[in-house]
Chain A
Amino acid sequence: MTREAETSPGPSAADTPEARARRDAGSYRDPAGFVFRRDGIVYRQIGIGFAEEWEHYTGSGLYDRMAAAGVVIAHEEVGLELAAEPPASRVIRPEQLETISYPYEWSFSQLKDAALHTLRAQALAAEGGMTLRDASTYNIQFLRGRPVLIDSLSFERAKPGQPWIAYRQFCEHFLAPLALMARVDIRLGSLLRSHIDGIPLDLAARLLPSRTKLTFGLGPHVHLHARAQRQHAAADPTAETRRANPMSAAKLATLIESLRSTIDGLSWDPEGTEWADYADNTSYDDLATRAKEEAVSVALAGAGGARAWDLGANTGRYSRIAADQGYSVVALDIDPAAVERNYRSVRREGRTDILPLLADLTDPSPPLGWGSAERKGLIERIDADVILALALVHHLAISNNVPLAMIAGLFARLAPHAVVEWVPKEDAMVKRLLASREDIFPNYTVEGFREAFDRDFEVVTETPIEHSDRILFRLRRRT
């Protein structure tokens, strides 16, 4: 923008259609097109160079079949005048997502479902004479409880004899982390946070038990694959591809089916981790639980709004109360087992209004990638009308030494309304936390809680939970 444009009267450069559009910071890798945001709505611009592939994808009926099956996100075409950076061949407005989540925030089965979904997209594309040109975990999001491919530009026409371009990416983004989580330790899912381009196969091969070398799936797709990468590291891909054995359509189908059955054979069952049995194993008796459910229900009805984030949701008992009241809920928990159980229940019940995610509130996902802007931090993505913090504050305050005023400060950043449960020191759960350490928390009292929260919130209602020593606070952020 020139200085002249800034100062001239009438419509300034800042008002032109181009200037109001902002390219998504994570959408720069693929020259075929990119995602941008205009007036709060997400669009995708398709470049001139990709027009023929796009026409084939939409004109052949493949897109219609994929969208109808829920494999790809639905979109509608809009006018070219909305393009962010002309020239464009098309501009589309995809169905808008409520929440963006990342693979390091998914439970095992969420990542597994995303992997199977990606393979299904490739299989359907192959039937339509096309192929999936990338297989990034970031191209999958959860919409109404189920995975969906959000990159509308992921398909190109298949060329006879060509191997699968996205094979490496699929193995690094999906197969390697799932194998490590299932065969070594569930916590290795966090490697996705330190490797946003996928887990290098040589690293996965080193970490996996050596007996996996002999298995039918991980043997070739991880171990042999890693070896081939090392051997051909310096080779020219174009020449090598030409020399390579041609990949017939049948061979490609065999490869995809083998990946599918390998992924399908990986499993992890949530037992023996931190909180898995928490819901069934609290100090609460049934009466207290019912009283708490009733109090939460009343508090939520008073708070209003459409989006609720349940912080420390465990397996989602109270998330369901919020969802049944019409809230669209994101259910965060620190424990992979709890998130796994919650996701399995959501999937089994066919729920569309709860998204379970793995997150540590004392260390939420940071912004990652280029310019620390490619993948947004978790806090930035929380767009709640109300937050639920039930049986959470004592964990933050006592297990993590977070001062109560700092907890209030964080909650105030997240939402205008909060429903917070106070659990006193006399409660069995707090006693348990204090059993192995010195009580250095003289201010952990209900008076201390009121005082700490008073700067950011006013108390709207305060409901003692019957049959327990706990109190449910409904809070409204001060303006």
Chain B
Amino acid sequence: MDVFFAYIDPGSGSLMIQAIIAGIIAAPLFFRHKISRFVRAIRGTENGSVKAGPGPDDSGSRD
């Protein structure tokens, strides 16, 4: 971390927790993607004609 440019105190805890929070948030997305792929595979609609599952924009993380 460049000390000069970080003129605000970023907070140790705030730095530490970010990657963990991003991981927690990303996990359901990841699994949702896996599940939807699995469901499509079972239904046999994997080959292109059906719209893809949730993309990266669809975070599903509404409070």
Interface string of A153-193 (1 = CB under 8 A from B): 00010010011111111010000000000000000000000
Contacts of B50 in A (CB 8 A): none
For A251, give its contact among B3, B9, B22 (CB under 8 Å): B22
Evaluate contact between B59 and A254: CB separation under 8 angstroms. Answer: yes
Take A32-B7, A134-B8, A252-B22 as given contacts and tell me if A230 and B59 are in contact as well, using a CB distance cutoff of 8 Å. no
For B10, give its contact among A30, A167, A218, A231 (CB under 8 Å): A167
In the assembled complex, the Cα of A264 lies from the Cα of B9 at a distance in Å of 26
Which residues of B (3-29) have their CB < 8 Å from a CB of A?
3-26, 29
B42 at the interface (CB under 8 A from A): no
Evaluate contact between A247 and B19: CB separation under 8 angstroms. Answer: yes
Contacts of A156 in B (CB 8 A): 2, 5
Q: Which interface residue of B6, B9, B20, B22 has the most chain A CB atoms within 10 A?
A: B22
Q: Which interface residue of A159, A165, A171, A251 has the most chain B CB atoms within 10 A?
A: A165
Evaluate contact between B17 and A224: CB separation under 8 angstroms. Answer: yes
Evaluate contact between A237 and B26: CB separation under 8 angstroms. Answer: no
Evaluate contact between A31 and B7: CB separation under 8 angstroms. Answer: yes
Evaluate contact between B19 and A246: CB separation under 8 angstroms. Answer: yes
Contacts of A163 in B (CB 8 A): 10, 14-15, 18-19
B47 at the interface (CB under 8 A from A): no
Contacts of B63 in A (CB 8 A): 212, 215-218, 261-262, 265-266
Tell me whether chain A's interface is mostly helix, strand or loop, or mixed: helix
> Can you name the residue of chain A whose Cβ is closest to the Cβ of B7?
A30
Contacts of B43 in A (CB 8 A): none
Interface string of B13-56 (1 = CB under 8 A from A): 11111111111111001000000000000000000000000001
A378 at the interface (CB under 8 A from B): no
Q: Which interface residue of B4, B11, B63 has the most chain A CB atoms within 10 A?
A: B63
For B26, give its contact among A29, A218, A251 (CB under 8 Å): A251
A437 at the interface (CB under 8 A from B): no
A241 at the interface (CB under 8 A from B): yes
Interface string of A226-259 (1 = CB under 8 A from B): 0111111101111011001111000111110110
Evaluate contact between A237 and B12: CB separation under 8 angstroms. Answer: yes
> Can you name the residue of chain A whose Cβ is closest to the Cβ of B22?
A251
Interface residues contributed by chain A, number (CB under 8 Å)? 59
> Can you name the residue of chain B whose Cβ is closest to the Cβ of A156?
B5
A49 at the interface (CB under 8 A from B): yes
Contacts of B6 in A (CB 8 A): 133, 165
Contacts of B11 in A (CB 8 A): 168, 229, 232, 237
Which residues of A (453-471) have their CB < 8 Å from a CB of B?
none
For A237, give its contact among B15, B57, B61 (CB under 8 Å): B15
Take A29-B7, A169-B8, A252-B22 as given contacts and tell me if A231 and B13 are in contact as well, using a CB distance cutoff of 8 Å. yes
In the assembled complex, the Cα of A479 lies from the Cα of B4 at a distance in Å of 52
Contacts of A224 in B (CB 8 A): 17, 20-21
Evaluate contact between A254 and B22: CB separation under 8 angstroms. Answer: yes
Evaluate contact between A247 and B18: CB separation under 8 angstroms. Answer: yes
Evaluate contact between B4 and A257: CB separation under 8 angstroms. Answer: no
> Can you name the residue of chain B whose Cβ is closest to the Cβ of A266?
B63
A220 at the interface (CB under 8 A from B): yes
A347 at the interface (CB under 8 A from B): no
In the assembled complex, the Cα of A248 lies from the Cα of B46 at a distance in Å of 30
Contacts of A258 in B (CB 8 A): 21-22, 25, 59, 61
Evaluate contact between B4 and A31: CB separation under 8 angstroms. Answer: yes
Contacts of B12 in A (CB 8 A): 229, 232-233, 235-237, 240-241
In the assembled complex, the Cα of A261 lies from the Cα of B17 at a distance in Å of 19
Interface string of A48-65 (1 = CB under 8 A from B): 011001000000000000
Which residues of B are interface residues toward A (Cβ below 8 A)? 1-26, 29, 56-57, 59, 61-63
What would be 26 A-B contacts, judged by CB atoms less than 8 Å apart? A32-B7, A163-B15, A163-B18, A166-B10, A168-B8, A217-B62, A224-B17, A229-B13, A232-B13, A232-B16, A235-B16, A237-B10, A238-B3, A241-B15, A244-B18, A251-B18, A254-B25, A255-B21, A255-B25, A257-B59, A258-B22, A258-B59, A258-B61, A261-B62, A265-B62, A266-B63
- Other A-B contacts than A216-B61, A241-B12, 18 sampled, CB-CB below 8 A, are A29-B8, A133-B5, A134-B7, A156-B2, A159-B1, A163-B15, A163-B18, A165-B8, A168-B10, A217-B61, A229-B13, A230-B13, A235-B12, A238-B1, A241-B15, A244-B16, A251-B23, A264-B62
Which residues of A are interface residues toward B (Cβ below 8 A)? 29-32, 49-50, 53, 133-134, 136, 156, 159, 162-169, 171, 212, 215-218, 220-221, 224-225, 227-233, 235-238, 240-241, 244-247, 251-255, 257-258, 261-262, 264-266
The 7 closest A-B pairs by CB, nearest first: A217-B63, A168-B14, A229-B13, A228-B13, A228-B17, A245-B19, A232-B13
